[in-house]
Amino acid sequence: MKTIAILGSSGGNLYNLGGKEPDKLLEEIAVQAAAAGLRIRAVQFIAAQGSMDMAGSDTGASVFGWDGEAPAVLFTGTLEACNRHVRELDERIAADIRRGEIDGLILMSADPDGANRLAIEAAVERGVPIVGTGGTSMALVSAKGANVIASSGTTGTTNRTRAVSFVAALSKHWGINYRPVIGTAGKSGVVPDGQPWKRINVRGIMMASLPGFIAMAVILALGKVPGLEALQGVFDLLIKALPVVVAAVAAKQVAEMEEVSVVAGVLAGVLSVDGGIIGGMIGGIGAGVLVHLLFRTCVEWRFPATTVNIIAGGVSGLAAGLAVHFLFAPVALQAGELIKVLIESAVGYSPVLAGLIAGLLIWPAILGGVYHAAILPIVLLEMEKTGNSFLGAVDMVGLVMVSAGITLANIVSPREKSEAAVAAPGFLINMGFGTFVEAAYPFMFANRIVFAGAIVSAGLAGMLAGMFGVRGTAYVPSIVAPLLSNNIAGFAMAMAGGLVSSFLFTLVANKIAKRSTGKTGEQASA
| Domain boundary assignment for the chain | 3-192, 196-334, 350-518
Over residues 379-400, mean pLDDT? 85
Provide the percentage of residues in the chain whose pLDDT is more than 90: 46
CA-CA distance, 313 to 295, in Å (whole number)? Answer: 9
pLDDT at 193: 47
Q: Which tops the pLDDT comparison, 467 or 211? A: 467
**pLDDT(186) > 60:** no
Torsion sign over Cα 110, 114, 116, 118:
positive
- Given a contact cutoff of 8 angstroms between Cβ atoms, the answer to whether 214 and 238 are in contact is no
Give the least confident one: 92-101, 152-161, 241-250, 479-488: 152-161
> For domain 3-192, which architecture applies?
3-Layer(aba) Sandwich (3.40)
Strand intervals (E) in 49-177: 60-66, 71-78, 104-108, 129-133, 147-152
Distances (CA, A) of 325 to 248, 270, 274: 16, 9, 7
Q: Which tops the pLDDT comparison, 204 or 412? A: 412
**pLDDT(524) > 60:** no
Q: Count CB neighbours of 374 within 10 A.
A: 13
| 68 phi and psi angles, rounded to 5 deg | 105, -20
Distances (CA, A) of 241 to 208, 269, 276, 318, 482: 15, 8, 9, 17, 25
**pLDDT(399) > 80:** yes
Edge to edge, the sheet with strand 71-78 lists: 71-78, 60-66, 39-48, 3-9, 104-108, 129-133, 147-152
pLDDT at 184: 44
CA-CA distance, 138 to 85, in Å (whole number)? Answer: 23
Query: What is the number of residues in the chain?
Result: 526
CA-CA distance, 275 to 281, in Å (whole number)? Answer: 9
Over residues 25-39, mean pLDDT? 92
